[in-house]
Structure 1
Amino acid sequence: MTAVLDRPTTRTTPTLNRPLLALAALMGVTAVVTAVLAVVDPVTITGTNGWLKPLKFSLSIALYAVTIAWLLTLLPARRQKLGRGIAWVVVVGMVVEMVAIVGAAAAGTTSHFNVSTPLHTAVWASMGTAIAAVWLVTLVLGVLLWRASDDAARRLAVRAGLVIGLAGMAVAFFMTSPTPGQLDSFSGIAGAHTVGVPDGGAGLPLLGWSTVGGDLRVPHFVGMHALQVLPLLAFALEALRRRVPALQSSRTRFGVVAVAAAGYAVVVVLLTLQALAGIPVTSTFG
């Protein structure tokens, strides 16, 4: 009689994608370096400290990389290989963009919308291609994660976060059209962050958002970070279940996330319309 030994079965939990974590770490280092350069080498580009732009982008990309790394862990095992491909597209795309932004700051010129020379045009085109690729793979990830969780509130948070996040990213396409002033008198720049006023005017500290005209960076920023805000809200509601008995109901948590997601989407739409109308975001609080 042969004894059969049962081998313990182990379920492997997907780990955070290493290339994306490496990208986040690289962006963290870049943020520190550019923050120091902003103090010791305050080069002025379009009226502001030129090193603040790569500083802001490095922080945003680090957060985005960690978020995508987490979202990839929600993919089923059969989709993990595709998820690794998505991760590499994000890594390469973001590195291309940051090399262009840091290089332009070091040269004392602008990276975005700069078509003043064939070299600058090629750099700007490469940035646009890279970001378009990142947007597309994020869309693919959203489709793959449409039924990512058994918890209705968490599933809605991921869905809404991705949809609103993609919409916020897409707002950047409004920035790439030449302004009427640029069409009348071309000076090597085609596109702008602001509406109704030239880029580089009075703006909020660090963020640089215009205080005298519309600024498309506002809905772009707010929309993108739905990727973090809504899933974090769902997790917070779950964590509060013991203290708030009403939140023990999955239907209640779903309702809270649904209201928050709808409100968030409305805010992004209103901020976009406000920016396109040339109204500064500060007028909302004035």
Structure 2
Amino acid sequence: MELRHHALEALCLADPELKARQTLHMYAQQQDFSIDPALILAPAPGTTLPGHPEKPELRPHTEMARRSPATPHGRAVLIHAIAHIEYNAINLALDAIWRFPAMPKAFYRDWLQVAGEEAKHFQLLRAHLRSVGHDYGDFPAHQGQWTMCEKTQDNIIARMALVPRTMEARGLDATPQIQAKLRQVGTDDALAAVEILDVILREEIGHVAIGNHWYRWLCERDGLDPESHFIHLMQQYAAPRMRPPFNTAARRAAGFSETELLWLEQS
């Protein structure tokens, strides 16, 4: 069994539970998979990437309504939005595995770890939604993360810069703020969500660190200055502007340099 081939197969799956289970199986049984970095893969003709269920309905992010976590319905909408982010994150990690050839085998193992942990996060959040009478797909969602994935499909350096280091790193900043609001609500379901977000935040620091590592590895390989090139890529690909407050401690733990943290604060 070859890992990159199976990652593409999992990415094409439309059933979210099946996709999560298959991803977790690959992660748990990774010693049984070979890795062929030279393999050039392509989805079958007519295949839409990623595989996506009929629900949730996908809308532009500008049409997404915000709900206060002070109400049970508002908390369900919030957790659903985070679950969708984690579902997309499974897709993003699987896409990195199959799409980019000629990388060290450690690159593919790292992104398999990310995929497996994102699948776990999705299952935790989906179970929580079900415990409060909802499920994944009950509310609309947007595809902002996957849009950047598509923009960077032909440039691995841009992918490492603008997905884990930018899109996913925003979660490091947002999660403590969400947790604070849920703690203020103080209900059993809100506090249970805080505990799930503790797990997600801890592991997302590692995911952003993996992105930082491979971004810098690629810049060194290609003779690029990682800090100035990152700014260039942000402009070239019209990446979303990163807004404060920033979780400086988490970003530092994920491998952002002091120069990068200063740039964030000043920009």
TM-score interval, normalised by the smaller of the two chains: 0.3 to 0.5
TM-score of the two chains, using structure 1 as the length reference: 0.36
Q: Which has the higher contact order (CA 8 A, sep 6+)?
A: 2
